[in-house]
Amino acid sequence: MIWEIDDHAPEIEGLDKNGRPDPAYAASLGLIMAGRGARVGAALLEWAVAVVIALPAIIAFTPVLAEIVSGGFDPEAFFARSDLVWLIVAAAVSQGLMIAYTVVQLVLHGRKGVTLGKAVCGIRSVNVRTLERPGFWRGAVVRYLVAGASFLIPVIGPVLVIALSPLFDIERRGRGWLDLAAATWFVDVRHGLNPYDPKRMRIARKRVKTPEHEEKAPLPSLATPVDRDAPAEYVPSARLSGGVIGAHRGGTPTPAAPQAEGAVAGAVVSSVPPSLATGAAPPAASAPSFAPPAAAPRPAPDPVPAPTPAPTPAAPAASFAPPAAVSPPAFAPPPVLRPAAAAPAAVPAPASAPTPAAATPAAQTAAAAPAGTRAVLILDSGERIEVRGTTLFGRAPAAAAGEGEAQLVRVADDTRSVSKTHLAVMPARRGVFAVDRASTNGSAIIRDGIETALVAGHPAELRIGDTVRFGDRLLTVEWV
């Protein structure tokens, strides 16, 4: 058995195949190299502060240094000076402040990647491999030791190591010999990403690391459209163990749908036996819709006068069957009589029954709407919505706090013109009202060809035949 031991070595992102830092990776994160002018300004500011700290010692010991250089320095006269104590105090204070200033600069540079001058000029120092803090020993101490060693060669050393070495960087990232020794890199946080902002760095790394997924074409629906030539576009309304129940969205609703109930009622009335009606046989044109299509209709028999009904307290009620006039005798089942509680006075003749065409669309809709429905709305997809209480329309509608329970209607919108909670339809005592829920693209009522925009939060009364536009979607008021 082979055991694999995880050494918990951190995975460093942004390295090429040779293990060197890739400048293109840092650029893709949004890191920008600090400009040469900003770096020079930061260095000059730090040196100016150091000179101010050392100013008391400089003022006190400048005459002494002049005497030493000229060769007229007398040690006995120097130690016999009355202000010798003040000279020593000025030198000690300046030296102490200089040591404290240097230590603070080292700690800030190693732990936070910033010094006094870099903070003012918007510069941060990072480790060139990990793009994190440079570290105290290598990023700060080694850097300052190399910078101090360059002063062993007066003028030429500092100019070459500090000022001119960044010009010879083959990667063109402004890294000089000090940066190569400390493995550091200076970035501009004013115009680019701040590497010490963990949240923004995490988002930038994830964006670069995660590849973009190619958008795939949607899979075809497994449901069958109602219309043979309609596209298979469905909105799933429920899920069962056997599959998905969908509502067809293709095409427009057929106008013959409201008349289906009237056709069924006419078929039931026309199936009344002649003996229980007026005594006349029904004509062949009133044959029920469920008759076999292959059977040819027979000619209607001669009318037989209806017998006088006996004054009995109860009469049997027949369970109606198709008459012999519309089906062959071999397939016509005999009528089965069942006792009923009370006999009707008279069954109305087929001629007196109201035809479906005579009923108005409003009456049909009112008869089809269940009890408690205040309004019936039809979306442009053909979906019918029965309004019993507050109904919210949108891509992902949600009731507001204190609004109570509401009927939520999700509206599919690929163009995202419909807000999450776009429109509310609310019943009241005086009618049904529409309220725009401060949507992005607004809502409007189209009445008699005139479109009136809805003011957000202000209810507008709805009437039969109105069309409400919310975003790019439409709904029609069928019944109120």
- Please give the Cα distance from 126 to 134 (Å, whole number): 5
pLDDT at 260: 41
Q: Is 247 in a helix, a strand, or coil? A: strand
User: How does 423-451 read in b/e, with b if 16+ C-beta sit within 10 Å?
Assistant: bbbbbeeeebebbbbebeebbbbebeeee
The stretches in the chain having pLDDT less than 50 are 234, 237, 244, 246-296, 310, 312-363, 365-367
pLDDT at 443: 95
Query: Measured between alpha carbons, how far apart are the two ends of the chain, in Å?
Result: 78
Based on its alpha-carbon atoms, the radius of gyration of the chain, rounded to whole angstroms, reads 47
Q: In the numeric block, which tokens belong to residue 406?
A: 């509401």
CATH class as words, domain 372-479: mainly beta
Within the chain, which residue ranges are assigned CATH 2.60.200.20?
372-479
Going by the DSSP 8-state scheme, the letter that residue 249 receives in this structure is -
pLDDT in tens, 102-134: 999 999 998 889 999 999 999 999 999 999 999
pLDDT at 247: 47
pLDDT in tens, 315-345: 444 444 444 444 444 444 444 444 444 444 4
Q: In the numeric block, which tokens belong to residue 471?
A: 């975003």
pLDDT at 337: 44
Q: In the numeric block, which tokens belong to residue 94?
A: 């300046």
Q: In the numeric block, which tokens belong to residue 378?
A: 């039809």
Q: In what order do the strands lie in the sheet with 450-453?
A: 384-387, 375-379, 473-479, 467-470, 443-447, 450-453
Contacts 24+ apart (CB under 8 A), 327-333: 327/291, 327/292, 327/295, 328/295, 331/292, 331/295
Q: In the numeric block, which tokens belong to residue 118?
A: 């870099």
pLDDT at 215: 61
pLDDT in tens, 241-283: 555 454 444 444 444 444 444 443 443 334 444 444 444 444 4
pLDDT at 291: 43
Residue type, 54: A
Q: Are strands 407-410 and 391-394 parallel, antiparallel or unpaired?
A: parallel
